[in-house]
Structure 1
Amino acid sequence: MAARELPETAAYFVGRERELAQLRADIVRPGLAVAGGKQPDRGRVLLVVGRPGTGRTELAVKLAREVAAAYPDGQYFLRLTDTDGAPVPAEDTARALLRALAARRPAAGRPAVPGQAAPGRAGTASGPEPAADPVAVLRSATTGRRLLLVLDDVARADQLSGLLPESPGSLVVATADGPLSGIPDVRPCTLGGLDTPAALALLAHTIGDTRVTNDPRAAETLVQELTGHPTALRLAAAWLAAQPRMPLSEAAVQLRATPDTPLVPAAPAPPASAPATGDAADGGAAPEQPAAVRRPAAPAELLRAFRAAYGTLPPAVARLLRSLVLAPAGSIDAHVASALAGCAVDAADRALAGLADSALLVRGAADGLYRVPGCLEPLLRALLAGTDRPQDITLARARMLERTVRLLESCRVALAREGGTDALPGTVRFASPAAAADWLLARRPALMAAARAAVADGELDTLARRLIAALVRALLALPAGGPGPGATGRPGRPGAGAGLRRPLARADRYELHTLALTVAERRHLPREKAAALINLADLDAEAGRTDHAVTAYRKALEAARAADDTGAEGRVLEAIGGCYLELGDLSRAGDWFGRALALRQGRGELVDQARLHARIGAVLTYLGSHTQALREWRAAAGTHRRLGDLASQARALVEAARVQEYAGLPEDALRTCRDALYYARQVGERRLEAAVLLRLADALQHLGDTGGADLQRAASRRLLRAGELPAF
């Protein structure tokens, strides 16, 4: 799940003045703690209670938008029931809020939340420490802050109790089907149907004032038939708008005659006399089952209005509507709809617009994405399960994942400016890198939800692996915000992760590699398991969790050896050495670099050998082992010469000269610098030649040749343009 900014209010909001006034008064009402002479230790909690479709979410969002300015440290919206109707654990909600807080810039004068000043620590955006309690970390992160949280569709009190900000200046607006016991000092604001004037205004907004004023008694009868239920009224109004010749009185009669049962009956419960299974069948007690929260059945008036609206749809559009409950995170656009329905993008776009006109979908004003109203999701999900064949549902999900992979690949190509976009189909092509970045950031929650769902399903693991890989590549292709931790040339991946320094993207990559690890273990893919473990360890190292990274790399090393992947093994050996180097344990760093070098030598990989000779040489230089360090730097220079890389050979020789100076061999250092200058001039790189001349000047200075040193420095300056620095 993901925390997002407050959604837009409904396009047309009517009524609820009394309820809004009650909620506003509750914000400033002294709580029980104040009445008892104590100071409140947490934010105010408001609870909006109502049956599905009564507009409780719209009311909560409208109130939140009215008072948002009073909560400068962030306003977030989270739904605490997933698309399958299962309650979201408090730990998952806490992680989502921590990611959102870590990605937010702190207000002026306020400290950063955990994950900003030290990204990657316990419970932060780069992936939680195993022992960290995300709920406890969230409490710490919210202390003293003025936050506004809208927690929608709360199923149980324990989902909410641990998320309350530890700050009396914060506000939580929750919505639920009924009262939540266990949350003190909360007075539920209960929603029923709209009063008759508001309900008539809602009806007239869609079908026009004329039809209502021409037959006001029939309009009132229709409103009363639907008990003022807001969503039922919207559905009935859209149904009437599509039939302008239908009298309101006839509509009321038809709605009254419409059954108030679901279109697809639920599976019957097992009879009470059915024999028990398992231990209970042998006379023992039945095993304890986890407590399940059963959502109440949809109100009768909503079922009748939904039946009326759904019954007028063409079969192809009805099938498309049913399939939309498969959309990840409930975010729907023309690409998602066309893939699910197996139709053209423009046809899907027209169908979505028509469904929104019928009040069967809601379209966001800001992002343009469609969503199924929450109260209709269970009805459509039951319809899908009872009408469509399982193999057709699986095929639809496969088409959606395949389309998502193609869009991600097109997004990455556009962001990387690689060219070749003309070869892509026009429907998946992005007009510019900015358009690709906007699409990726806007669709990020849905893309992450698609990856989670694909892995959890287990039937489409090949597509899940492709989706994860494509999403990671696209995130890394997002424009860099400048150099950050980890851009130090990790083994096998120079500058890995430099594409995006946002904590949010790091959290996404951590989760994606964890998902990849799940698939690799389930499918018994040892090389992919090793790769996933290495990527997770890389993210720990990138985030500065070096101690934890060492442990993670050791697990990856075991997996690489089990997979007989010597390439990955060499990369891990060098990465462990790099971690010990960052920890200041030079002896261990040199030891691990040496192991990696031996493996690379056995594989004949000259580029890696040259790099490792240099890293070992640097460690030995710091340790004062000048003879051994000089040998390593000369080995690095010799390997670069074999590769034909004269520039790198010159750099290695300069480092060798530096070691010779440390060892008290200034004349040897001077000769080595002249060799380096010869190769630098052959390459023709001005800035490199300038750097070698400065090194040569230092060698002359140590020999007491001040005049010669000044001449070399002057020559170095002449090679550089204004403001340029030597390339070393």
Structure 2
Amino acid sequence: MVRFTVLGPVRAWRDGVELAAGPPQQRAMLALLLAQAGRPVSLSEIVHVLWGKNPPVSAVNVVHRYVGMVRRLLEPALAVREEGRWLVRDRGGYRLDVGPGEVDLLSFRRLAEDARRRRANGAAHAALKLMTEALALWHGPAAAGIPADVRSHPTFTALDREQLAAVQEAADLALELGAADQVLAQLWETAARHPLDEPVQARLILALGAGGRQAEALETWHAVRARLARELGAGPGPELRAAQRRILHGQAAPPAQRRILHGQAAPAPGPMRLPPDLATFAGRRAGLAKALALLLAEDGRSPAVGVISGMGGIGKSTFAIHLAHQVAHRFPDGRLYVDLRGHAPNGSALAPGEALRGLLEALGVTPHRIPDGLDARAALYRSLLSGRRALIVLDDARDAEQVRPLLPGSSGCLVLTTSRTGLFGLIAEGAHPLAIDPLPADEARELLARRLGADLAASSPEAVDRIVARCAGLPLALAVVAARAADRPLTAVAAELRVADGSLGAFSGPAADGDVRAVFSWSYRVLSPAAARLFRLLAAHPGPDLGVAAAASVAGMPVGHARGLLTELTSACLLTEHSPGRYTCHELLRAYATELTHAHDTEAERRAAAHRVFDHYLRTAHAAGRLYSPYWRTTTLPAARPGVAAETFEDDREALAWFNREHLVLTSMIDQAVREGFDTHAWQLAWALERFFDRQGHWHDFLAAQRAGLAAAVRVGHRGARAHLHRGLARAAARLGRFDDANTHVQRALSLFDELDDLPGLAHAHRCHGWILDQQGRHEAALDAAKHALDLYQAIGDRVAGGSALHALGWTHALLGDLRRATAYFEQALATTDESRDRYGAGGTLDSLGYAHHHLGDHSQAIACYERALRLYRDVGDRYQEAGTLRRLGETYLAAGDRGTTRAVWRQAAAILDAADPPAAEEVRAELRRIDHAAGR
């Protein structure tokens, strides 16, 4: 009899005796077979999972050898080439022939499904018991202990998502039954692993309230709210707000079955990123019926793909989003949306690789784990969606080449893509064409009535008919006219439209995009002069959206004035306020604004507007960076152009929220600055964004920005900027494991700073060099680099920067075993640090000092240092550093003989690391098992 586990460490038993599962790669192969238990796994898939895109020549032979070793492990009496009972050939690959009683994964799924059936039949108590039994089978992330690069494969992360969904279902059941205490421990751990998952956090808050722990529930709510603001620049969503209201009003009692949070159905676990459905959507009944009939007839072989095509302004995006909302309930594993910007007038179409990065982040992949290269990202994307039912809307595609890498491979997925072209290449490959025509007259009247109100539309039917005829069935034109008609008689509106310049008759042809100007111009002409000028100059902004201060900078006016003009443009339907204080517009309107600014504004005026835009983002990023990293060296900025409204911030949290909110705009801004010849802005902006990209894990953006900035610095001949950007490139390359590139760039930075006699820059470069050497385990060389940095900092009198070099020296001495010298360095470094201004730096030094005290046997001092570091890291919001400090704090409690506190601390660390670094999380759990075993537990 054999038994296997994969819900945690990969282990195997035969007749009750645990077997040695072999070397890491062999365990990884066994884990893959267990993850697909009962199903064949092809040889090519095994090779791909074990070695990725670059397998060795001997990969197939190695797999065959592993198969033989696993077979003989399970059945020692087997002959060399004999298949045996458990691991058999199947369809060109291998299958582990096991059932629920032999693999914990299958047992988990059987228990979970049984729980769902019991719940559906009204046996809620039995369902909760079964679901908690299912969750008890998990002992860490799936396939823990195998090589990290294999463990991060979607085959295994998909198993982790099953556990997340089951925890949420168990929480809902427990809340319904008034048995929150039965799931609270699981909720605590899951919420710690998913700190930004609002449904999970809401369930935790409700469970605490249901258990009579209202104060703790509210404290958790405030902590989640602060984290969302700090890391996403967003406020709590409806689930969290509803949970808070229930706690405040003492209403944490269980709601009706399968309902939580004020009667709303529990949300699905997948990402939900669809834009809201338009309340004024009207008509398109025949098109919707056709689309539903085509797209929901599954063939079981490939994802359904619909190509929604038609001229600009005809309502493709609105149709796609409305259709998506109609079928969204069929796709519980995710509803995703990407604006591909295929027809953006400034040529900033979204590259497929960038689109994939956004999709991967939406699917839960942390930024620094997203691979380089289009092929690698596409493969990861398809793997993540394998076996899942997800809906993907790809809006405004340029061509089939932009779309193909974004198509999932799973037959359970639906893709809706819109384009002004027919994407005939996709249709030839099996996509369904869904051409959108102008609205017929009756549906156009319906749309207008929705926007105007039925009574107003009915009051002047002849005027409505004339408006419908002039707008030629185009929803965008009808929306603009309806906005103008909100405060004017319909007869007057119809008369004004009749004499507008231009004709809409050409909308039936392929060159129709520009002809909507007849309606646009009619609406534009009634704007105030200031609003008209702002609308034209917004063409200088790259998008995808902008805030009020950025708009004020575009036009060179006060923020309060700009806010009123944005309201005027929104009321005219020339802009859309898609979230409070954030504005965007249809690409046809952006193109129209570009035409207008070239017709009415001089080249000098357009250039000045662009200059103000770049000044706004550069100066705001610089101000945010000084708060986010107060002692980081920055460049000196020239005076801003008159009228630039740079934003200001109270503290580092506000600065980080701005960075997160403007992330996409900032990356676009560097590219646009290069295209338009603002090279100085390009390299200065790359410099200003360095710390944000580095600390938040946006390492691919970090690398791209530093490369673009370096090229710009070379073009303008700024040697100091080149030196700094080489240093930034060295750090970005090292973050991505490209140490050859990192060493090349840091050496170039050292040489340039030396030639320039820039002692502060040279000191920073030596400090960076030491950090890169430490990452490679070259500690003696790192010590020399840190000494060079310290000498230079002392020579120029930079006490604070010198503290970082003292810290580096201390840490390297600690790694080399000289703990007393390390402690002296750490204490000197701490004396240079202002904890109120540089929480991050102080936290790092305190953590290192705790490490030194621990290894010197002074446990009480070590605990005190670690606790201070934890408070600072939590205040900053650095979860990864917090987990590292918790690990070391647990080691100190263990050394002091306090096993109970050690367990509590390490469980917190493991819960955080499950999301940030799963192999490290398993290391922590292995230590927990070791101390439990030693205690006879």
Class of the TM-score when normalised by the shorter of the 2 chains: 0.5 to 0.7
Change (3 A) 1:219 1:226: same
Between Structure 1 and Structure 2, which shows a larger proportion of helix residues?
2
Aligned partners of 2:328 and 2:854: how far apart in 1?
63
Q: CA deviation at 1:59?
A: 0.9
**1:396-449 CA-partner distances (Å, limit 9, x unpaired):** 12223333345445656777899xxxxxx9994557876665544333322332
Aligned partners of 2:805 and 2:474: how far apart in 1?
73
Q: CA deviation at 1:305?
A: 1.4
Q: CA deviation at 1:469?
A: 4.3
Aligned to 1:308: 522
What's the C-alpha RMSD, in Å, of the aligned pairs? 4.8
Change (3 A) 1:204 1:688: closer
Equivalent of 2:676, from 454, 457, 462? 457
Q: Confirm or deny that 1:153 pairs with 2:376.
A: no
Q: Confirm or deny that 1:360 pairs with 2:574.
A: yes
Q: CA deviation at 1:582?
A: 4.1
Q: CA deviation at 1:135?
A: 4.5
Aligned partners of 1:531 and 1:298: how far apart in 2?
46
Q: CA deviation at 1:53?
A: 0.4
Secondary structure in 2 aligned to 1:298? helix
Aligned partners of 2:272 and 2:672: how far apart in 1?
19
Change (3 A) 1:434 1:21: farther
Aligned to 1:403: 616
Equivalent of 2:557, from 323, 343, 348? 343
Q: 1:499-648, aligned counterparts within 5 Å?
A: 500-501=695-696, 503=697, 505-542=698-735, 549-550=742-743, 552-557=745-750, 559-560=752-753, 563=756, 565=758, 568-569=761-762, 571-573=764-766, 575-576=768-769, 578-584=771-777, 586=778, 589-591=779-781, 593-594=783-784, 597=787, 601=791, 614=810, 617=813, 621=817
Read off the aligned partner of 2:589 and give its amino acid letter. L
Q: Confirm or deny that 1:26 pairs with 2:294.
A: yes
**1:57-86 CA-partner distances (Å, limit 9, x unpaired):** 111122223333415245132224263253
Q: Confirm or deny that 1:188 pairs with 2:433.
A: yes
Read off the aligned partner of 2:550 and give its amino acid letter. V
Change (3 A) 1:248 1:211: farther
Q: Confirm or deny that 1:53 pairs with 2:321.
A: no
**Higher mean displacement: 150-159 or 609-618:** 609-618
Q: TM-score, with normalisation over the residues of structure 2?
A: 0.52
**Higher mean displacement: 333-342 or 209-218:** 209-218
Q: TM-score, with normalisation over the residues of structure 1?
A: 0.66
Aligned partners of 2:448 and 2:829: how far apart in 1?
82
Work out whether residues 337 and 348 of structure 1, in 8 Å CA contact, stay in contact via their aligned partners in 2: yes
Equivalent of 1:244, from 470, 489, 494? 489
Secondary structure in 2 aligned to 1:310? helix
Aligned to 2:449: 204
Aligned partners of 2:576 and 2:316: how far apart in 1?
15
Aligned to 1:276: none
Work out whether residues 78 and 152 of structure 1, in 8 Å CA contact, stay in contact via their aligned partners in 2: yes
Aligned partners of 1:52 and 1:644: how far apart in 2?
63
Change (3 A) 1:96 1:203: closer
Equivalent of 2:283, from 1, 15, 35? 15
Change (3 A) 1:66 1:204: closer
Aligned to 1:687: 861
Aligned to 2:596: 383
Change (3 A) 1:560 1:104: farther
Work out whether residues 573 and 592 of structure 1, in 8 Å CA contact, stay in contact via their aligned partners in 2: no
Equivalent of 2:340, from 55, 58, 79? 79
Q: Confirm or deny that 1:235 pairs with 2:485.
A: no
**1:536-556 CA-partner distances (Å, limit 9, x unpaired):** 332343455656644554454
**1:5-31 CA-partner distances (Å, limit 9, x unpaired):** 332333411111221222222222245
Aligned partners of 2:759 and 2:630: how far apart in 1?
33
Change (3 A) 1:194 1:6: same
Work out whether residues 620 and 646 of structure 2, in 8 Å CA contact, stay in contact via their aligned partners in 1: no
Work out whether residues 200 and 223 of structure 1, in 8 Å CA contact, stay in contact via their aligned partners in 2: yes
Equivalent of 2:537, from 299, 302, 323? 323
Q: CA deviation at 1:529?
A: 1.9
Aligned partners of 1:360 and 1:152: how far apart in 2?
20
Change (3 A) 1:295 1:415: farther
Return the structure number with greater relative CO, CA threshold 8 A, min gap 6. Answer: 1
Change (3 A) 1:534 1:82: farther
Q: Confirm or deny that 1:222 pairs with 2:396.
A: no
Work out whether residues 272 and 335 of structure 2, in 8 Å CA contact, stay in contact via their aligned partners in 1: no
Work out whether residues 80 and 159 of structure 1, in 8 Å CA contact, stay in contact via their aligned partners in 2: no
**Higher mean displacement: 636-645 or 194-203:** 636-645
Q: CA deviation at 1:657?
A: 14
Q: CA deviation at 1:612?
A: 6.7
Equivalent of 1:296, from 501, 508, 511? 511
Q: CA deviation at 1:96?
A: 3.5
Q: CA deviation at 1:221?
A: 3.3
Change (3 A) 1:246 1:409: farther
Change (3 A) 1:657 1:145: closer
Q: CA deviation at 1:87?
A: 7.0
Secondary structure in 2 aligned to 1:359? coil
Change (3 A) 1:242 1:571: same
Aligned partners of 2:768 and 2:436: how far apart in 1?
59
Aligned partners of 1:536 and 1:427: how far apart in 2?
27
Aligned to 2:130: none
Aligned partners of 2:827 and 2:630: how far apart in 1?
31
Q: CA deviation at 1:56?
A: 0.2
Aligned partners of 2:664 and 2:828: how far apart in 1?
49
Aligned length: 568
Aligned to 1:64: 324
Aligned partners of 1:643 and 1:394: how far apart in 2?
48
Q: CA deviation at 1:188?
A: 1.5
Aligned partners of 2:337 and 2:529: how far apart in 1?
38
Gaps of 5+ in 2: 1-270, 632-643, 796-801, 833-844, 866-891, 906-937
Aligned to 2:664: 445
Q: CA deviation at 1:307?
A: 2.2
Aligned to 2:874: none
Aligned partners of 2:304 and 2:702: how far apart in 1?
35
Change (3 A) 1:391 1:547: same
**1:653-676 CA-partner distances (Å, limit 9, x unpaired):** x98999xxxxxxxxxxxxxx9xx9
**1:658-697 CA-partner distances (Å, limit 9, x unpaired):** 9xxxxxxxxxxxxxx9xx99xxxxxxx9827999xxxxxx
Secondary structure in 1 aligned to 2:717? coil
Change (3 A) 1:454 1:252: closer
Work out whether residues 387 and 410 of structure 2, in 8 Å CA contact, stay in contact via their aligned partners in 1: yes
Work out whether residues 99 and 507 of structure 1, in 8 Å CA contact, stay in contact via their aligned partners in 2: no
Aligned partners of 2:829 and 2:273: how far apart in 1?
57
Work out whether residues 120 and 544 of structure 1, in 8 Å CA contact, stay in contact via their aligned partners in 2: no
Larger radius of gyration: 1
Aligned partners of 1:353 and 1:643: how far apart in 2?
51
Aligned partners of 1:564 and 1:338: how far apart in 2?
41
Work out whether residues 455 and 519 of structure 1, in 8 Å CA contact, stay in contact via their aligned partners in 2: yes
Aligned partners of 2:581 and 2:808: how far apart in 1?
52
Read off the aligned partner of 1:178 and give its amino acid letter. T
Work out whether residues 853 and 862 of structure 2, in 8 Å CA contact, stay in contact via their aligned partners in 1: no
**Higher mean displacement: 592-601 or 66-75:** 592-601
Q: 1:240-279, aligned counterparts within 5 Å?
A: 240-244=485-489, 246-247=491-492, 250-251=495-496, 253-255=498-500, 258-259=502-503
Read off the aligned partner of 2:304 and give its amino acid letter. R
